[in-house]
Structure 1
């Protein structure tokens, strides 16, 4: 599993810092995270973005309720004063997957892309993506791995570019072992740990964004992402892709998409009146809801400051990947856990990602131990960080001696070990599992997806000792396949039940079951299947340059209603030969992402706008007074009048800026779309009138909403009762009559409000996109730097004898351009 996905969820809605009454110190906002710079010749050019927006409340009170007192105190999730349960969630379980058209179903050749792979988690989360990255490199793509700083050597030694995103995975491991549930313990909340982790999340979001546009930190070679692959807990993926207008593809080692087949591995719903399949489906919404409650302020603050994007609407945030149908690839064997039938065709189960077995020569001590007796049992917990490693070591040694077996115990991040010498036990440091598991009888570990896969691939019976997250899920799957006993939670582990588990693994039944799984898994090629899944979901035609199909299009040339998608190379050749002018270029987005606010009815839609307006106005009002006061009190800022005036102006600007947009755009739009979508609450479909991109499309959508609103409303008074009577007799006739009467209100109502709302929305979008945002300027700068670098590389290649090839490419571009011009 990703060892940090559960950590992200456990952040809840912030945390109650025991010191929240005090002011925020300067050192609290800093970290050991590196300061990423875009240009070594201009140090700190973009470093101002490392400072988060001032209005993020890192100590935001959680939606937790304290239950009990003293040592019996615990935390409980609450929503509006009531316990949150599966049947109370406003989440529906659709009968069929939503339709999805695979963009590249024939898997035609993709242009060579710059791909950034963003990973948050442990080494076990990073390792599978190294195998995928190698396959993508073979396909001709440039691959950058963006993950935690501690994995720099691990990534670079595998032959990949590395970009540090910050974050401390060992700190995450320790946090999650202490807080194994979705809701953190009360003492964790009171300690201020939540606040510190939320700051860490902000830095990792910023690091992921910089990994899309900044040069290589080591050699300063420019890089601009043209596609993103990520695991879900990196959280920046969809937002970075939206800012750049490029494809994004999620890949993960644990179930993350709603299904009836099994519950979310991180959910623990004990009481519900719903049937098990519905409960399974709703558990995913529960986890997503808690995750979004915990991180929405951090993510939206980062979106606003670093990406220049509007906040993600409250109702959209928890299910954004599902709503946008972001392609998803699961990295486990379908022979082990089959793809659920209710997953759409944008979701694939491809197989475990196995890297090439690394070259490894065992040290003499390990080689001698293996050859001195029967195959030992392997026991290890990898990157898990435990409070009491000595107690765990004693349990392991006791179980091994009770069974009378030999054992290799991996020290791991918890540094397991004992001063007592035992000839039947060897404590081992780092050793590739691919090699080691060929020489053991069975394996006992924490249940990370990678370790689980490696053990099963080698046909080794497995005992899972889960600590958190999806580890118990994999243990249950192994037990269901009879390749091991039921998982034993680490808090329940003792000498006796571990000894019993080891004995089960040494039985012929377990060995035969593990061997059967191994044979099926060896028929998979997970990495190749995942690469195929990635390429099938790429909008290849949109990505291609119109003149050089093997190159990605990054510029849009528009003049006199003629448009061309151009690569850096094609654009350079055409401008160099005076065929086009660079002033007609603009950044091209091959895969625009539009995040819509989900409106269900006019009452909730309108009230949410009013509450949001009131909140923003209050924040601005408070900043008018508290901003200058903090400046004068701060020795670091010097207490200057200029700084105080700036903070006063920002607060007043926020107050003044709230009302016009809310009254002219947000509130009328909320009422319009609330009325338009209201029939969905009783099962009716509603028309899609298109997207508002500028004032022209706004007027078009307004006209359609008005016209169809009245037509559908009037006709519905006749057609709805007739359809209801045909399907349900007199009872259906009554329901249809009610639907028709409702449509007579909602359709014309949406049409009349829409005449005002949509044109103003179009004008607002036209004004907001009339100039480049700071993030767009950075993308443009990165694109220009990258294009200049590639031009210099072509010049160097020409000097080394590559002139003939360059002239051939130039002729191809010029001839293709002339043909386009003649065709008009």
Structure 2
């Protein structure tokens, strides 16, 4: 058949009459049915009838948030009353990104947009993207990790559960080690100097994509705002299932099943990486996160989230809370690009070609894939531009085939009739922005999701899983894309996207969710208040440049300074009832005791092996003496040496005595180390036991009893978070008074209230509610009177012991403040004006 011309996608009659390929029909009955029926690699089979899924569903059904806080009305994917916030302070922002070049590129556009507001932006990602980032005018920090290895691992293990071959080859452990390296790299990106220029940097805010994993934890250590941004759904919703989840058929309510899928995927991810994250948290003086809180941490803490896709393709779910926005795809400024003459000649020599490329995907057999592509192109009679990508696709160019290396999609997609790619969000967005019909060949991750969204919108066929790719299937997909109706659907989406500015909307979202009231200061309004100057009568928040100037002029004492906790994050191990709470606390305590018992037995053995592995001192003595004496019997040494040499030579008897003495000391040292290791393990065992018995178990019981009324619709009173001994004592006192009062009062008033509302049946219900309240609130009050203060004391002790990271942050901020002050170079008049304003505020603190 003749290939289509550049402006006409072929004979419309023949193409429209031809039935679509059997894999490609898309449904029009909504997003839920379409995405729930997907069967593709990169997904997790979720058994909705499993015990875990059913339990999770019960928890979801118990949630009453939607009843008490109905979502606002939405206009085309955004809140109707979107509040615009003017951010008049300049921040140090670190953007932490893990992924391929396609994951990094949108955040370069975001970073450039943030710079327009005066923010200093550091993009922290894999080392291989250093030039890509710095050439865009952003600061760069390497976090380690090899994106090519990550892509190769994901292609081999498209789901969350790795194949046995990967386990045998040790690939899973390598990936975990890589994650540990990247976690540490992300932390360093928040507080360490630029590795090239040595310019100090401390983050005032963090933007990250979820796979970087370090984001919330770094923000907790620094007490700064964190904002997540991503190109695929990561927040629980009833509208559609998790993009990585494949739901089994079940009688479970479809909306509930969709929400359950997010919990299952998050729990599987935490099961694989939770211990890695907790070990890293310990290295930066943070407590471990429990297995019950870790999976859904971002949702529990209500971390602001901005999704980077067009609502024209995927509308905003109605059940998402107000801390979640959809802003549109991120597009960078089109790079300056001069196409090679050969490419221009190819484009001008015939009809518009199609584009085929898989970007950063690392394919195991690129030659086979190349042959499939060439055969499909031959069967359809189209011309094609094939991108070699990371897999190095390629062969012999022909009159219908042109191979390219690195070419900006923004330019290239203007000159093609359709695109075939792996379904990365950035490539998908670029194709849609240019109104190009798209075939997606997904390998893993969110790629099947985007393929199905495109099929649902009519802008392409249903995605072709990479494992199902062959020449005929690809040829049918190409012909389907060339239908005029499909081209019109793609162009309709492009017209809607013209009114969107993703990066601008994302910056507005970021500014809107900043705690600006805590970041402003009176001395320098355009600088964030990153320091708190503490006095007996009050505190004063100060910016870094003001602190350095005041210190240099002797107006403040550095010992009264502490970092301003702009956005403190408290991760509580929530309890739902006393039984599960006590069981969980007991399990945790038992685990710590078992671990410390193992250390008591194993660590002394390690010290013994280490001592035995040390090189004997005799070997060093012989090696040192051998150059002085030729090989001969020891009895003849003194006779053969000249008199002077005998006087100057070492005393052999003394040497032997010293060697024996060193050997004895080494044995004693080893024995001491063994005893010390055993005692250290015993100390951990004792500490775990007493903390469990005195603190954790009573606290779990008090919280469990306090939360029981939630099960019948009564919200427990919120006393805040226990942070130290003061807040612990306050919470214990309030809980005691309210628990005793409400428990006994409710026992008499609830039956009366129920009778007034529903008669005799209401009185019975009220009596049951009052009885349960008495049986739970009073025990919570009694136990909590001791448990909450002890919990606060434990927090205070842990804070005092874990001070290494806080000191590192203070030093980094002082170092950066000095550099900022040096760069600003305030004049004498400006310094005096700053000092005068500070002195005007001082009487308020000392009075």
TM-score per shorter chain, which class?
0.7 to 0.9
The 3 A distance-change label for structure 1 pair 389 and 635 is farther
- Aligned to 2:131, which of 140, 146, 153? 153
Q: Scaled by the length of structure 1, what TM-score is found?
A: 0.86
The 3 A distance-change label for structure 1 pair 265 and 637 is farther
In the TM superposition, what is the alpha-carbon distance from 1:198 to its structure 2 partner? 1.1
Instruction: Give 1:258's aligned residue.
Output: 236
Instruction: Give 1:397's aligned residue.
Output: 374
1:339-378 to structure 2, matched below 5 A, reads: 339-378=316-355
In the TM superposition, what is the alpha-carbon distance from 1:328 to its structure 2 partner? 0.3
Cα contact 2:57–2:256 (8 A) shared by 1 = no
Instruction: Give 1:319's aligned residue.
Output: 296
**Distance in 2 (alpha carbons) for counterparts of 1:207 and 1:362:** 37
Instruction: Give 2:250's aligned residue.
Output: 272
The 3 A distance-change label for structure 1 pair 730 and 809 is farther
Cα contact 1:89–1:286 (8 A) shared by 2 = no
1:434-449 to structure 2, matched below 5 A, reads: 434-449=410-425
- 2:392 is equivalent to residue 415 of structure 1: yes
**Distance in 2 (alpha carbons) for counterparts of 1:490 and 1:726:** 65
**Distance in 1 (alpha carbons) for counterparts of 2:757 and 2:319:** 27
Q: Secondary structure at the match of 2:233?
A: coil
Q: Secondary structure at the match of 1:575?
A: helix
**Distance in 2 (alpha carbons) for counterparts of 1:637 and 1:230:** 46
Q: Secondary structure at the match of 1:382?
A: coil
**Distance in 1 (alpha carbons) for counterparts of 2:322 and 2:542:** 31
**Distance in 2 (alpha carbons) for counterparts of 1:812 and 1:496:** 77
Q: Secondary structure at the match of 1:431?
A: coil
- 2:163 is equivalent to residue 185 of structure 1: yes
Worse-matched range after superposition: 247-256 or 424-433: 424-433
**Distance in 2 (alpha carbons) for counterparts of 1:188 and 1:91:** 35
The 3 A distance-change label for structure 1 pair 309 and 821 is same
Cα contact 1:96–1:342 (8 A) shared by 2 = no
Instruction: Give 1:765's aligned residue.
Output: 795
1:379-390 to structure 2, matched below 5 A, reads: 379-390=356-367
**Distance in 2 (alpha carbons) for counterparts of 1:485 and 1:264:** 21
1:236-635 to structure 2, matched below 5 A, reads: 236-304=214-282, 306-418=283-395, 420-634=396-610
**Distance in 1 (alpha carbons) for counterparts of 2:725 and 2:457:** 59
In the TM superposition, what is the alpha-carbon distance from 1:636 to its structure 2 partner? 11
**Distance in 1 (alpha carbons) for counterparts of 2:707 and 2:64:** 20
Q: Scaled by the length of structure 2, what TM-score is found?
A: 0.83
The one of the two structures with greater contact order (alpha-carbon pairs below 8 A, sep at least 6) is: 2
Instruction: Give the superposed CA RMSD.
Output: 2.4
In the TM superposition, what is the alpha-carbon distance from 1:272 to its structure 2 partner? 2.5
Cα contact 1:631–1:643 (8 A) shared by 2 = yes
The 3 A distance-change label for structure 1 pair 165 and 275 is same
1:93-127 Cα distance to aligned partner (Å, 9 max, x none)? 5465586999x955132411111000011110000
- 2:107 is equivalent to residue 129 of structure 1: yes
Cα contact 1:632–1:638 (8 A) shared by 2 = no
How many equivalent residue pairs?
Answer: 738
1:162-181 to structure 2, matched below 5 A, reads: 162-181=140-159
Cα contact 2:577–2:707 (8 A) shared by 1 = yes
- The runs of 5 or more residues in structure 2 that have no matched partner are 1-43, 73-78, 616-668
1:503-529 Cα distance to aligned partner (Å, 9 max, x none)? 111111011111111111111000000
**Distance in 2 (alpha carbons) for counterparts of 1:384 and 1:552:** 41
- 2:810 is equivalent to residue 780 of structure 1: yes
In the TM superposition, what is the alpha-carbon distance from 1:771 to its structure 2 partner? 5.7
1:255-308 Cα distance to aligned partner (Å, 9 max, x none)? 00011111100111213221222111111111111111111111111111x221
**Distance in 2 (alpha carbons) for counterparts of 1:76 and 1:145:** 35
Cα contact 1:182–1:267 (8 A) shared by 2 = no
Worse-matched range after superposition: 703-712 or 764-773: 764-773
Cα contact 1:87–1:274 (8 A) shared by 2 = no
Instruction: Give 1:748's aligned residue.
Output: 778
In the TM superposition, what is the alpha-carbon distance from 1:638 to its structure 2 partner? 3.7
Cα contact 2:96–2:206 (8 A) shared by 1 = yes
In the TM superposition, what is the alpha-carbon distance from 1:186 to its structure 2 partner? 2.7
**Distance in 2 (alpha carbons) for counterparts of 1:813 and 1:442:** 61
Instruction: Give 1:686's aligned residue.
Output: 716
In the TM superposition, what is the alpha-carbon distance from 1:314 to its structure 2 partner? 2.2
The 3 A distance-change label for structure 1 pair 240 and 332 is same
- The runs of 5 or more residues in structure 1 that have no matched partner are 1-74, 798-804
In the TM superposition, what is the alpha-carbon distance from 1:541 to its structure 2 partner? 1.7
**Distance in 1 (alpha carbons) for counterparts of 2:433 and 2:842:** 57
The 3 A distance-change label for structure 1 pair 533 and 607 is same
**Distance in 2 (alpha carbons) for counterparts of 1:726 and 1:375:** 77
Q: Secondary structure at the match of 1:246?
A: coil
1:801-812 to structure 2, matched below 5 A, reads: 806-812=827-833
Q: Secondary structure at the match of 1:127?
A: helix
1:37-48 to structure 2, matched below 5 A, reads: none
In the TM superposition, what is the alpha-carbon distance from 1:158 to its structure 2 partner? 1.2
1:637-670 Cα distance to aligned partner (Å, 9 max, x none)? 7497265455434323321221222122111101
In the TM superposition, what is the alpha-carbon distance from 1:222 to its structure 2 partner? 0.7
Cα contact 1:438–1:458 (8 A) shared by 2 = yes
Q: Secondary structure at the match of 1:251?
A: strand
The 3 A distance-change label for structure 1 pair 369 and 136 is same
**Distance in 2 (alpha carbons) for counterparts of 1:136 and 1:336:** 26
**Distance in 1 (alpha carbons) for counterparts of 2:426 and 2:54:** 31
- Structure exhibiting the larger radius of gyration computed from Cα positions: 2
1:434-485 Cα distance to aligned partner (Å, 9 max, x none)? 0110110000111100000000000101111111111111111111111111
Q: Secondary structure at the match of 2:320?
A: coil
